[in-house]
A and B are shown apart, each in its own frame.
Chain A
Amino acid sequence: MSEAPLLEIKDLSVEFKIYGGVLKVLDGVNFHVHTGEKVGLVGETGCGKTTTMKSILRILPMPPARIPSGQILFKGQDLLRMKDQQMRKVRGRGISMIFQDPTAALNPVFTIGQQLTPVIQSSLRNEDRPSRAELRQRAIAPLREVALADPERLLRSYPIQLSGGMRQRVCIGMALATNPELLIADEPGTSLDVTIQDQVLRLLHDLVEKKRTSVILITHTLGVVRQMADRVYVMYAGNMVEVAPTRKLFQNPLHPYTQGLMEAVPKLTGGGVAHGIPGRIPDYLNPPTGCRFHTRCPHVMEVCRQQKPPFFKVEEDHQVACFLYEPKEPKR
């Protein structure tokens, strides 16, 4: 933990201004990724996972979005204060992204080749000016990498001619074609069938291992993070609630929300279906005071309603934002 992280988010808040008021979606998010690390970000629908990632790449629509506070440091530089031109260089070569729905991510009226070659071009250095034929050749390489058969024909195909799994492979190939340092994968397997999801995730895992790419994996499926990530952040209603190495988190979840989530997943070993977490995700127009989980928490205390819990270190690498784990003052 001595070297500086590749990406560090410090106290990031994001708001959306809408007709009825201001939605306080992210509320002081802290997050970091080290070089070569695979970090999972887990949470349910509407907890702010995608908003966090979109604010890293600065692809949030502003307005309505606003970032009142926070820093996003990528290799020491604050992305939020960068000029648009510099930012364009970061996207692609520095950070690239895979989206949940490959069908929506690919343009239906252009062939795969027409969409892939600009990506290759953008990653070239100034003195490197390949001919068209050469460019085509180079476009084949990323498709080979994602184990797609007959890449020459694929370059001439339209997205509609490919299956969902193939489209997601194309997206992965495209995202990794520029050899980025950080890859953000937003629910890369969610829209696919189980057996195909398994293929795509294994492919992604092997590729990033080979290329030593750092990964942020966003998902709502706990099983997927367990399989893919080294370290996991759990997010609830715009707050990080727990962070730990994957193994520790799954063996010993500490935050009541993480515990509830783990119990709610139906198990292959049987034992019935747990009742889940009572209540519903809070309204961002009027989020609960103090800990945002207190309205649904089985262990709620008075302090939870008034103060927002900071991260408490239970172990050096296992932190929880919950007052249950507040170190007790020694009474003397």
Chain B
Amino acid sequence: MSEDILVVRDLKKHFLIGYAGRIRREPITVKAVDGVSFSVRQGETYGLVGESGSGKSTIAYMTVGMYQPTTGSMQFRGQNLFANGFNRPSSLRKEIQIVFQDPGSSLNPRRTIRQILELPLRIHQPEADPLEEVIRLLDMVELPPEYLHKYPQMLSGGEKQIVAVARALATHPSLVILDEPTSALDVSVQGKIINLLLRLQREFQLTYLFITHDLSLMRNVASRVAIMYLGKVCEVAEAAEFFANPQHPYTRMLLSSIPVVSEAEAAARPEKIISTGEIPSPVDLPSGCSFHTRCHRVMDICRHVDPAMVEIAPAHIARCHLFEQPPEILAQYRGELIDLEAVRPAP
């Protein structure tokens, strides 16, 4: 087993959006990420899956340093990413790069491809010849050198995303965050980008934190998958195990809701679970397990107690009351509840 490159422990990000009450002003927060722990191994593709508002992009932005966590820690090869707050050393910045969802808005429309790709080189490798490096980058992503002088609007969506990938790789990073890299593109183009990413991963021993809402895509690229719902992780497993043997009720609902194109695929889905209810607002989370309002296996305990992560099989973790063995787990719950009381600010 290879070493962990990114270790995230009990990460929380609460955004302050206003205050309630005139006299005793209670802060209103959006709990975008609410106690997430996971670790990414060197060289793997770690899939982070969830619906909109589940907090997956917030995690991505914290990893590259666009946000600071409220509490919790993120360690990259043993170094705390937020030791100096936002002042992350440049040596660390160049190791972690990101590809955004919409290449139309992540590339500056007034810069040429050459200017776009030169910027990270000027900052992180001032001694190298930028033009030579840019041509090498374009060659690496299979774009012809004529593209140097083009503007983003002259490229198709897929080509723009390829430029964004080249920009992310300009600094020779070891961890690349892919935030829905193909969801703005057509399926016939998606394949090209994904295969390019997989080839680059092999060539440069990259580690990917792959964020998406597309489980079918995850099935084909990820080595491990984590499912998020409303700022929390529901289930984590190796990809093969995850799709063969989904455990959490939410995972099963999600998998059985995917539209598929063949009988074989339909058979690979878990038994149909009719999706019900709406995703609750992250401002006003349900008590207990945040999924209890939509869960088809809801029990009384789910409405009051937030479940803990339970290892249900080797390397397969789920956060659901269904999998607990009463005596030990209950004690664990009590411990957690006391912790929560301690964390809560005094009125």
Contacts and interface: CB of A to CB of B under 8 A. Distances in A.
A267 interface: yes
Interface string A192-225: 0111111100100000000000000000111110
Contacts of A303: none
A203 to B, nearest CB: 11
Interface SS of B by simple majority: helix
A298 to B, nearest CB: 13
Contact of B259 (A163, A193, A227, A264): A227
B15 to A, nearest CB: 19
Contact of B51 (A193, A264, A265, A267): A193
A198, A261, A278: most-surrounded residue (chain B CB, <10 A): A198
A195 B268 contact: no
A193 B276 CA distance: 13
Given A193-B52, A269-B265, A273-B217, A264 B260 contact: no
Report which residue of A195, A223, A264 has the largest number of chain B beta carbons within 10 angstroms of its beta carbon.
A195
A44 B187 contact: yes
A82 to B, nearest CB: 35
Interface in A8-37: none
Given A266-B219, A270-B219, A273-B221, A194 B258 contact: yes
A165 B268 CA distance: 27
Interface string B250-292: 0001110111111011001100001110110000000000000
B192 interface: yes
A151 B198 CA distance: 50
Contact of A45 (B186, B240, B274): B186
B219 A226 contact: no
A227 B261 CA distance: 9
Interface string A178-195: 000000000000000111
A324 interface: no
B195 interface: yes
Nearest to B243: A268
Nearest to A193: B51
A36 B80 CA distance: 62
B261 A163 contact: no
Contact of A272 (B192, B220, B278): B220
Contacts of B157: 45
Contacts of A143: none
A261 to B, nearest CB: 6
B278 A274 contact: no
Interface residues of A, number: 41
Given A198-B257, A226-B259, A273 B220 contact: yes
A262 B261 CA distance: 8
A265 B254 contact: no
Contacts of B269: 268
Nearest to A253: B261
A195 B275 contact: yes
B213 interface: yes
Contacts of A194: 51, 213, 215, 254, 257-258
A265 to B, nearest CB: 5
Contacts of A264: 187-188, 190-191
Interface in A219-241: 220-224, 226-227
A223 B278 contact: no
A273 B189 CA distance: 11
Interface residues of B, number: 44
B158 interface: yes
B79 interface: no
Contacts of A220: 186-187
Contact of B191 (A166, A197, A222, A274): A274
B121 to A, nearest CB: 28
Given A226-B261, A280-B156, A267 B216 contact: yes
A276 interface: yes
Given A195-B254, A274-B191, A265 B261 contact: yes
Contacts of A262: 261
A325 interface: no
Contacts of B133: none
Contact of A273 (B194, B243, B276): B194
Nearest to A274: B191
B214 interface: yes
A273 B257 CA distance: 21
B192 A276 contact: yes
Nearest to A199: B275
Contacts of B275: 195-196, 198-199
Interface in B215-252: 215-217, 219-221, 240, 243
A48 to B, nearest CB: 14
Nearest to B50: A193
Contacts of B257: 194-195, 197-198
Contact of A267 (B189, B198, B261, B274): B261
B259 A260 contact: no
Contacts of B262: 250, 267, 269
Contacts of A273: 190-191, 194-195, 198, 217, 220-221
Interface in B129-169: 156-158
Given A44-B188, A226-B260, A273-B195, A193 B219 contact: no
Contacts of A260: 188
Nearest to A227: B259
Contact of B219 (A222, A267, A274): A267
A20 to B, nearest CB: 14
B150 to A, nearest CB: 14
A220 B186 CA distance: 8
Contacts of A274: 191
A266 B216 contact: yes
30 contacts: A45-B157, A163-B279, A194-B215, A194-B258, A195-B279, A196-B275, A197-B257, A198-B257, A202-B274, A222-B187, A222-B259, A222-B261, A223-B258, A223-B259, A226-B260, A250-B262, A262-B261, A265-B187, A266-B190, A267-B220, A268-B243, A269-B219, A269-B262, A270-B220, A271-B220, A273-B195, A273-B217, A273-B220, A276-B190, A276-B191
Q: Shortest 6 CB-CB distances between A and B: which pairs?
A: A223-B259, A276-B191, A198-B257, A193-B51, A277-B188, A195-B275
